[in-house]
Amino acid sequence: MNQQAIVIGAGIVGLATATALARKGVSVTVMDRHAFAVGASVRNFGMLWPIGQPSGQRYDRATRSLSIWKELCQSAGIWMDPAGSLHLAYDGLEQEVLEGFHDLVKTERPYRMLTAEEVIHLSPAVRSKGLKVGLYSPQECIVDSPLAIRALPAYLSEAFGVKFLWETPIHRVETGAVWSGSQRYDADLVFVCTGPDFEILFPEEFAARSVTRCKLQMMRLGDQPPGWRLGPSLCGGLSLTHYPSFGAAGDALQRLRDRFAMELPDHVRWGIHVMVSQHSDGGLIVGDSHEYGSTLEPFDREEINMAILSYLKRFTDLPGYRVTRTWNGIYTKMTDGSTELVCHPLPGVTVINGLGGNGMTLSFGLAEEVIAVI
Ligand SMILES: Cc1cc2nc3c(=O)[nH]c(=O)nc-3n(C[C@H](O)[C@H](O)[C@H](O)COP(=O)(O)OP(=O)(O)OC[C@H]3O[C@@H](n4cnc5c(N)ncnc54)[C@H](O)[C@@H]3O)c2cc1C
């Protein structure tokens, strides 16, 4: 008989785990406490973002994840835009970081440094005034997260027979079984992919690990003309200080950080870096900020949204900036420098969590690696 697995959580980590198990021939049941996914996985940019990953295992995992995303989106008819990405430099120091990074990775990654004219030619949305250069990558893709994350369960059911039990909150996990109220569900293997609700099932594990929560503020801009497309997703200089990949630029990056600390103290204080992607219906997704803590204020701060928008206008020239929706999302993040938490609090029970701001980019590859060794 097939092995049976239960996956708790139908965010991207749970869906990626279910996919990896089902592809190995395991019978999978996914349980989620909500009627449909409402967590971090539907609140993000939908950026599948290898460029943010340092070379080596993480970059390889991101490119593997991207190829699984592509297969699934194609098979399931889920919208995906191979839009690529453009990182923009508006002064000599930002240019130095981009060029330093490009020099180090150009033999292994498909990137190109573009002149200001080439950038403007590629994207109608980039602000031309003061633009020095851009780093273009054709690799990054966009999915419309709420659509993709909610369409994947139907596809996994149809293609692999994965069962989904919605509105099934799990309050207890044992070796070989999980409990929702008085209902017991048996399985050979249990995977706990519960995102920021992690500590409810394993409070001691959570307390013993270097994990925190991070709250991010996001916005959606409407009012773009019908058919208008952003082109590649865009990032300004602050993003160079956010993604670990740019650490390869060394000393120039530290000087850029120091300058931002002097010139943009509020942006630095709220962990703001600004990116924009475009979803399938034309809406632009803009963010974000980073506030850390075990318990986070539920309300959004207007000053953060204002700071994000003012920085966005430094590097974009969009048809419309009207904000049509605001929200925040919370993810778990490791504080000891590790990139995820994979642990076994009980025999046969695997926790996968703590992917931080990279869950959409890394989950499929990580899940494959985790399943391969179980
Ligand atoms: C604003 C924002 C922007 C981001 N942008 C990007 C991006 O562009 N690219 C990228 O790669 N990453 C991005 N990320 C990170 C990415 O979204 C997360 O890493 C990822 O979504 C985490 O997925 P998850 O499955 O662990 O959590 P979640 O999506 O939160 O899913 C956890 C699920 O578990 C369920 N659950 C919890 N407890 C129980 C229980 N006891 N019983 C049953 N079900 C339970 C919940 O209902 C939920 O559906 C962003 C995150 C945020 C918040």
Q: In this predicted model, what pLDDT tens digit does every residue of 261-271 receive, in sequence order?
A: 999 999 999 99
Q: Which of 8, 152, 216, 360 to mutate to test the pocket of ligand 1 (most atoms within 8 A of CB)?
A: 360
Ligand 1 centre to CA of 237 (Å) is 26
Per-residue pLDDT at 348: 98
User: For 29-73, what is each residue's pLDDT tens digit?
Assistant: 999 999 999 999 999 999 999 999 999 999 999 999 999 999 999
Q: Which of 45, 141, 202 to mutate to test the pocket of ligand 1 (most atoms within 8 A of CB)?
A: 45
Cβ of 172 less than 6 Å from ligand 1: no
Using alpha carbons, select from 54, 68, 58, 55 the residue that is nearest to residue 18.
68
Ligand 1 centre to CA of 235 (Å) is 23
Q: Which of 6, 44, 85, 179 to mutate to test the pocket of ligand 1 (most atoms within 8 A of CB)?
A: 44
Q: Which is it for strands 80-81 and 141-143: parallel, antiparallel or unpaired?
A: antiparallel
Average pLDDT per run of 10 along the chain, which is 374 residues long?
94 98 98 97 97 96 98 98 98 96 96 97 95 98 97 98 98 98 98 94 91 97 91 97 89 96 97 96 96 96 98 96 97 95 97 97 98 94
Per-residue pLDDT at 199: 87
Cβ of 33 less than 6 Å from ligand 1: yes
Alpha-carbon separation of residue 77 from 74, 140, 364 (angstroms)? 5, 19, 18
Query: What type of residue is 134?
Result: G
Helices (H), the chain: 12-23, 57-76, 92-105, 116-122, 145-160, 198-201, 203-208, 251-263, 265-269, 302-315, 359-372
Q: Which domains, ranges and CATH numbers included, belong to the chain?
A: 4-47+146-209+338-372 (3.50.50.60), 85-138+211-334 (3.30.9.10)
Per-residue pLDDT at 214: 97
Ligand 1 centre to CA of 330 (Å) is 7
- CA separation for the pair 374, 371 (Å, rounded): 5
| pTM for the whole structure | 0.97
Per-residue pLDDT at 249: 84
Ligand 1 centre to CA of 194 (Å) is 8
For 305-362, the DSSP string reads HHHHHHHHHHHB--S---EEEEEEEEEEEESSS-S-EEEEEETTEEEEE-BGGGHHHH
Closest protein CA for atom 5 of ligand 1: 44
Q: Which atom of ligand 1 is nearest to the CA of 327?
A: 1
Q: Which atom of ligand 1 is nearest to the CA of 196?
A: 30
Ligand 1 centre to CA of 327 (Å) is 14
Question: What is the edge-to-edge ordering of all strands in the sheet holding 177-180?
Answer: 172-174, 177-180, 183-186
The residue assigned the tokens 């499929």 is 364
